[in-house]
Structure formats: C-alpha cells, structure tokens
Amino acid sequence: MDPFEGVNEQIWFHISRSLLYQHFKQQTPVDYINSQKVARAQELLINGNLNLTEIALQLGFESSSYCFCFVHSL
C-alpha cells in the first residue's frame, strides 16, 4: 500500500480520507473530485482573470479540452 495514497485529496479538500469517503453515496471519489474541480473552474472563470486553459492546467486537467469533457459529463 502506498503511504501517500490519499494525501492529495487531504491537501486539496482539507479533510481526512475517511471523511471524504463518507460524503460519497451515489458518486465515486474520482467523480466527486472532478465535479469539485469543475465547480472551482466555474468560480475562477467568473471571478478571476485566468482563461480556460490556465484554469484547466491549474486544477490538474491535461488541457482545456479535457476539462470541457468533464463539464458535459456532469
């Protein structure tokens, strides 16, 4: 088992891995994380000075096109 597994989630959401999993009833952890990234991207587009490509890269998406795929899947 990787000792750092879940560390990114804990840093990103400021909650423990077990608490993060308690929030999932109908959604996988990956789907939840992606929906949170898309929500944050929306906030940054509305309130920030960054373009979609800069926001996508800042949030860990490979490209703005890849980020856009998640917007349509939600």
| pLDDT for 1 | 47
| pLDDT for 50 | 87
**Domains recognised in the chain with CATH numbers:** 26-73 (1.10.10.60)
| pLDDT for 61 | 78
State how far the alpha carbon of 29 is from the alpha carbons of 6, 21, 22, 50, 55, in Å: 11, 7, 10, 27, 21
Non-local CB neighbours of 7 within 8 Å, separated by 6+ positions: none
Residue 32 corresponds to which tokens in the numbers above?
A: 């939840």
| pLDDT for 44 | 87
| Alpha-carbon radius of gyration of the chain | 13
Residue 35 corresponds to which tokens in the numbers above?
A: 């929906």
For the chain, 74 residues long, give each residue's pLDDT as a single digit of tens: 455 455 565 556 666 767 766 666 667 777 878 888 888 888 888 888 888 888 888 888 777 776 666 555 54
